[in-house]
C-alpha cells in the first residue's frame, strides 16, 4: 500500500508538508503544492476516501444520539435495534454517539455527527431543553428529529407518543376492574415520560372522585431492584391497596418478586401492571399487563422524515395501546 | 458562519474548485490554489475539523462492530452499555458500526471504522472466520481486539471466556443435585458460544456414564418464545426429565412459562437453569440459576488492550461463574 511517506519521499518534502497540502488547513507555497500533487499522481496514493467525503458532501450516515446511561435495558436495546434495521433498509448506516451525562455532552455528540456530515440525525434527548433543541435545529441545514419530546416550536421535528393518554387508559382500565386503591411506583423524577405517567395516574383518580393518597406513591429508579424495594416499602407502610401500577415493566418485575416473597398470590391478592411492554412480560407468571410504547413506529417515522419521505411518514401512527394480560384481577366490589 | 461559497466568491473561483483544493484529491493549478488559500485566510473559513483529523491522524474514537441482529436483547444492551462507559472513562468516544448479515458486511463495518482513524476497534464477530479475522488484523496498524472468539494465530488479540468450562460447571452442579435426566434447549446452531455449551452438556453427561439421549435435546432460537415452544415440545414428546438446561436465560424464561402453564411446580416438578445471568433472573419465581458471562470484564480488558495498557489488562480476569439461585431442586435419589 502506498503511504503518505512514499508521497513525501517522491516529492522531496516532509510528511507533514504532504499532510498540510492534503488537509488544506495551512498555506503551502504553490510550487510545493504542485510537487506534492505530482508525487500523488505518480505514486497512486489514495488518501482516505471517507475524509474527503466528509470534507465535501453529505454521507449516507444516520446519526443517533442517546445517553449511555439508558443503553442498559430492554427499552433501549429495542430502540437501537430498530434504528439500525430501518437505517439499513433505507441503505443508510447508523452511527451512534453517546449523549453521556449532560446537555453539554448531548450537544457535543450532535456536533460530532454534524461534523461527520450525517444525512440526518435522530436525538433521544435526556438533558437538552426544548430551547436548546430549537437552537440546534435552527443552526443547521441537516435534518434533525427529536424522539420522545414535545417541541412546541418545531412540531414537525419531533416524534412522540402520548404517554399521558396511554397512562390514563391504563388507570381507567384498572379502575374498571374494580380497583380503587391503586398504588403507583414511579421512576426517577428527571424523566419527562415518568412525569407524564404519574400525572395521568393522579388526574384519572381525581376524575373519578378518588382522593390521591401520597402514601400510595413510592419512588424507585426504573430497575427491577428498585421496584422490589419500593414494593416492600409499600407493604411495610401499611397503606391499603389492591393494585399497583409501576412506571415501567422492569420495576413491575421487581415488585412482583417482592409480593410473592411476602406470600401474596398474584393477581388474586395484588394486581400489577407496568409500562413499555417489554418482551419478558408475556412470559412472567402472571403474564404482565402493560402499555405498548410504539418504539419501532417512532424510529421508522423519524427515519422517513430524515429522508424527506413525508407521505410515508404520515401514514405511520405512533399511538400506544394497552396490552391486557393476566396480572390485573377483576374485583368483586366493582364500583366504577 | 463563513461557508465554502464565501471563500469561492472571494477567490473568484467556483465552489467546486475550493472543494478540490481543500480535499486535495484532484490537481489544481498552483496559482488557483494560492488564491483559494488567500481567500480562506481573509474570510476566516473553518473547514470541517473532523475531516482534517481523519485525513491526517488518529482520532480518539473506539470503534465497535457488532451485528444489529444481536442488538435486541439484554445480553447485547449490556455489552454496548459497558463499551460506552469504559470508552468514556478513558476519554474515548465509542462509535458503533453495524455488522449486518454477512462476513462481507462485517468487513465493511471494520473498514469504515479504519477509515475513521479509530484509535482501536473492538469486533464481536458473528460471520467472519478466524482466517478472515487474522487477515484483517495483519492488514492494519490499528489495534483490533476480537471479543468472544478464539484466534489460535493471534491469542493476544482475543478476549474470551471459557464457555465450555462454564457450561461444564453448570452440568456438574445439576448432576450433583441428583438430576440424571437433564434436557437441553439449545439456541441457533450458528453460534460458537451455543455449540460450546451443547458440547459441554454432552461431554459432562458422558463423563458421568450417562447416555446422551437426543430426544432430550430440543432446538430453539435464543428468544423466550422459542424457549416456550421448545419446552412444550419436550413435554409432548414424552421423554422423561427432571431438569432442563437452556442455552440462555431468555429461553429459560419461556420454558418456565410453558411448564407453569402445563401445571408443573418449579422447581419441585421440573428444575431449570440458563446462561448469561441476565438482570431479570434474580426477580423470576423461582429465581433463575444461571452462568455469569463476564461481559463487563471482557469489554474492560479489550479497551485496556486497545489503549496498550497491558499491565492493567492482565489483571482483569474473564472467568465466568455459577450464579446459584432457587430454580434447581435437590432430588432425593442423589446418585452422582
Query: What per-residue confidence (pLDDT) applies to B336?
Result: 43
> What percent of chain A has a predicted confidence (pLDDT) above 90?
60
Q: Rounded to whole angstroms, how far apart are CA atoms B238 and B215? A: 9
Domain check: are A32 and A100 in the same one?
no
ipTM value, please give it: 0.80
**Among A98-112, B40-54, B254-268, the range of highest mean pLDDT:** B254-268
- Nearest neighbour of A50 by CB, restricted to B54, B73, B282: B54
Residue B57: closest CA among chain A residues belongs to which residue? Answer: A19
Query: Which region holds residue B24: left if phi is over 0, alpha if psi is between -120 and 50, else beta?
Result: left
Choose, out of A34, A98, A109, A282, the residue to mutate when testing the contact with B (most B CBs < 10 Å). A98
Q: Which long-range contacts (CB under 8 A, 24 or more apart) does B9-13 make?
A: B10/B39, B10/B42, B10/B43, B11/B35, B11/B36, B11/B38, B11/B39
Check whether residue A35 and residue A84 sit in a common domain: no
Contacts of B56 in chain A (CB under 8 A): 19, 22-23
- The answer as to whether A219 is a domain residue is yes
Domain count for chain A: 3
Q: A224, B283: Cβ pair inside 8 Å?
A: yes
| Contact state of B76 with A78 under an 8 Å Cβ cutoff | no
| Non-local CB neighbours of B21 within 8 Å, separated by 6+ positions | A24, B28, B32, B33, B36, B37
Same domain, A155 and A172: no
Contacts with B257 from chain A: Cβ below 8 Å: 282-285, 287
Contacts of A51 in chain B (CB under 8 A): 23, 51-52, 54-55, 115
* Pair A181, A215 in one domain: yes
- For the CA atoms of B33, B35, B36, B38, what is the dihedral angle to 10 degrees? 120
Whether B149 and B169 map to the same domain: the answer is: no
User: At residue A283, does pLDDT exceed 60?
Assistant: yes
- The answer to whether A283 contacts B224, with C-beta atoms less than 8 Å apart, is yes
| B287 within domain boundaries | yes
> Residue B73: what are its φ and ψ, rounded to 5°?
175, 165
Query: What pLDDT score was predicted for residue B335?
Result: 47
- Percent of chain B scoring above 90 in pLDDT: 61
CB B63 within 8 A of CB B95: yes
B86-120, pLDDT tens digit by residue? 998 898 888 888 888 899 999 988 988 888 889 99
Please report whether residue A128 resides in a domain.
yes
CB-CB neighbors (< 8 A) of B27 in chain A: 37-38, 41
Q: Which residues of B touch A38 (CB under 8 A)?
A: 27
Same domain for B18 and B131, yes or no, is no
Query: Is the pLDDT score of B83 beyond 80?
Result: yes
Co-location of A191 and A205 in the same domain = yes
Domain CATH for B272:
3.40.50.2300
Asked whether residue A203 is assigned to any structural domain, the reply reads: yes
Residues B298/B161, Cβ–Cβ less than 8 Å:
yes
Same domain? A226 vs A252: yes
The answer to whether the Cβ–Cβ distance between A81 and B95 falls below 8 Å is no
On whether residue A316 sits in a domain, the answer given is: no
| CATH of residue B29 | 1.10.260.40
Average pLDDT over residues A103-120: 89
Closest among A316, A307, A299, A313 to A142, alpha carbons compared: A307
Q: Tell me which residue in B48, B68, B81 faces A55 most closely, judged by beta carbons.
A: B48
Residue A24 and residue B23: Cβ atoms within 8 Å?
A: yes
For residue A308, tell me if it sits in a domain. Answer: no
Q: Do A21 and A99 lie in a common domain?
A: no
Instruction: Give residues with Cβ within 8 angstroms of B328, minimum separation 6.
Output: B173, B174, B177, B179, B243, B267, B271, B272, B273, B289
Domain that holds residue A185: 163-293
- With a CB cutoff of 8 Å and minimum separation 6, the contacts of A242 are A179, A180, A181, A182, A270, A271, A331
Whether residue A303 is contained in a domain is answered as no
Q: Assess whether B156 and B184 both reside in one domain.
A: no
Distance CA A330, CA A299 (A): 36
- Under 8 Å CB pairs connecting chains A and B tally to 188
**Closest by Cβ to B115, choosing from A49, A84, A100:** A49
* B308 occurs within a structural domain: no
Q: Which residues pair with B219 in a beta bridge?
A: B186
- Provide the 8-state DSSP code for A210: P
* Residues A152, A75 share a domain: yes
Q: State pTM to two decimals.
A: 0.82
Cβ atoms < 10 Å from Cβ of A202: 15
Q: Which of residues B160, B187, B220 is at a domain's end?
A: B160
Same-domain check for residues A125 and A80? yes
Q: Do A74 and B76 touch (CB under 8 A)?
A: no
Amino acid at each position: 500500500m502506498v503511504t503518505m511517506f512514499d508521497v513525501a519521499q517522491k516529492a522531496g518534502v516532509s510528511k507533514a508538508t504532504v499532510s498540510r497540502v492534503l488537509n488544506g488547513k495551512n498555506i503551502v507555497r504553490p510550487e510545493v503544492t504542485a510537487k506534492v500533487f505530482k508525487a500523488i499522481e505518480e505514486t497512486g496514493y489514495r488518501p482516505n476516501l471517507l475524509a474527503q467525503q466528509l470534507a465535501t458532501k453529505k454521507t449516507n450516515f444516520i446519526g443517533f444520539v442517546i445517553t449511555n446511561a439508558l443503553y442498559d435495558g430492554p427499552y433501549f436495546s429495542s430502540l437501537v435495534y430498530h434504528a439500525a434495521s430501518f437505517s439499513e433498509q433505507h441503505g443508510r448506516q447508523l452511527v451512534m454517539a453517546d449523549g453521556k451525562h449532560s446537555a453539554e455532552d448531548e450537544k457535543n455528540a450532535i456536533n460530532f455527527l454534524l461534523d461527520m456530515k450525517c444525512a440526518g440525525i435522530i436525538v433521544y434527548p435526556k438533558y437538552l431543553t426544548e430551547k436548546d433543541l430549537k437552537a440546534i435545529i435552527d443552526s443547521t441545514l441537516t435534518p434533525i428529529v427529536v424522539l420522545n419530546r414535545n417541541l412546541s416550536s418545531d412540531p414537525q421535528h419531533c416524534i412522540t407518543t402520548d404517554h399521558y393518554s396511554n397512562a390514563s387508559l391504563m388507570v381507567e382500565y384498572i379502575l374498571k376492574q374494580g380497583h380503587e386503591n391503586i398504588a403507583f411506583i414511579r421512576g426517577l423524577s428527571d424523566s419527562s415520560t415518568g412525569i407524564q405517567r404519574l400525572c395521568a395516574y393522579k388526574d384519572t383518580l381525581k376524575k373519578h372522585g378518588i382522593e390521591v393518597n401520597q402514601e400510595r406513591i413510592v419512588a424507585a429508579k426504573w430497575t427491577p431492584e428498585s421496584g422490589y424495594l419500593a414494593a416492600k416499602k409499600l407493604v411495610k407502610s401499611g397503606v391499603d391497596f389492591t393494585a399497583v401500577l409501576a412506571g415501567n415493566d422492569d420495576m413491575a418485575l421487581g415488585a412482583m418478586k417482592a409480593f410473592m416473597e411476602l406470600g401474596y398470590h398474584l393477581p388474586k391478592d395484588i394486581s400489577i401492571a407496568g409500562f413499555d411492554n417489554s418482551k419478558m412480560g408475556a412470559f412472567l407468571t402472571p403474564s404482565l399487563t402493560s402499555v405498548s410504547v410504539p418504539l419501532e413506529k417512532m424510529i421508522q417515522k423519524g427515519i422517513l422524515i430524515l429522508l424527506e419521505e413525508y407521505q410515508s411518514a404520515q401514514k405511520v401512527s405512533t399511538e400506544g395501546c394497552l396490552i391486557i394480560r393476566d396480572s390485573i384481577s377483576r374485583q368483586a366490589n366493582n364500583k366504577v
